[in-house]
Amino acid sequence: MFVELKYDEFSIVETLFNKNRYQIPALAVLNRNFPGKVFVDNKEKPEIALVWAISRWSYISFKKLLPKHKSFMESVFNSKILPILLSTGEKHFEIYTDHNIEWDRMLNESFSEYKLDKHYENTFVLNQEKFKTLSSNIEIQKDIEICENAYPIIPKDYRRFVESNQYEKKTFGIAIKKNGEIVSQCVNNGFVYKNNYFIDLDTFTNEERNKGYGTLVSYSLISNLLRKGLLPLWETTNNNLPSQRVAAKLGFEKTEEYPVYSITSY
């Protein structure tokens, strides 16, 4: 049994998602900064909630793990989430949650008909003093251009599943162009809560990697948004060493590690 909350009801589960920085995307949804859907077991007194940042990933939190939560997970995924994934062609669905051995067992039972993988991710916070020392080492090559861009907050395929005032939102980013083509970009991905936001960084081709573009474009975005009072968070898998090296160079420091479950083969 589950209930999908209306937008003006999202706040009733906010206290379930304010313990860790990695849950900030869920809080962004609950505060209507990012499009999403929210499901609970009981609207009057929710004991478990799933927050889906639509087109991205989902977050689960509960007061106390109970056997009935297994059917909650199965029902929400199969009847509400899976049809959207199939209609958009999305090939995997991720669930972020806390460390819990019993929860791990329950998730494996709930999604036994699918392929369920588990990995770990980390959140990093910015040490601003370290970041400031980077400015003297930043060099802009003559053959590149740094420009500001606006990006749709969610892909076009997902727009029919959210309100128009949500899908029309844009996010802010910085791009590096070379010969008129974008080779690297760093974006505030829209997961904003209070004065925190998460970063998405991409360098698009192998031949343009290891040239310092990722550091440069990230530095440009972070500097721009620090002046506006926004503090960045960096997230990556625990085995993504290139991403971790860029984060360390910028002055980010690891603060959290948590499991992420990926559902595929549906």
Give the Cα separation of 58 and 93 in Å (integer).
8
Stated pTM of the model: 0.94
C-alpha distances in Å from residue 90, one per residue of 35, 60, 81: 17, 20, 11
Q: How many C-beta atoms surround the C-beta of residue 229 within 10 A?
A: 7
Q: Give all domains of the chain, ordered by start, each with its CATH number.
A: 3-121 (3.40.630), 125-257 (3.40.630.30)
Tell me the pLDDT of the chain (266 aa) as tens digits. 899 999 999 999 999 998 899 999 999 999 999 999 999 999 999 999 999 999 999 999 999 989 999 999 999 999 999 999 999 999 999 999 999 899 999 999 999 999 999 999 999 999 999 999 987 778 788 889 999 999 999 999 999 998 877 878 999 999 999 988 999 999 999 999 999 999 999 998 888 788 889 999 999 999 999 999 999 999 999 999 999 999 999 999 999 999 999 999 99
Inter-CA distances, 172 with 92, 175, 191, 221, Å: 26, 10, 11, 9
Please give the structure tokens belonging to residue 259.
Answer: 């499991």
Q: Are 63 and 29 in contact (CB under 8 A)?
A: no
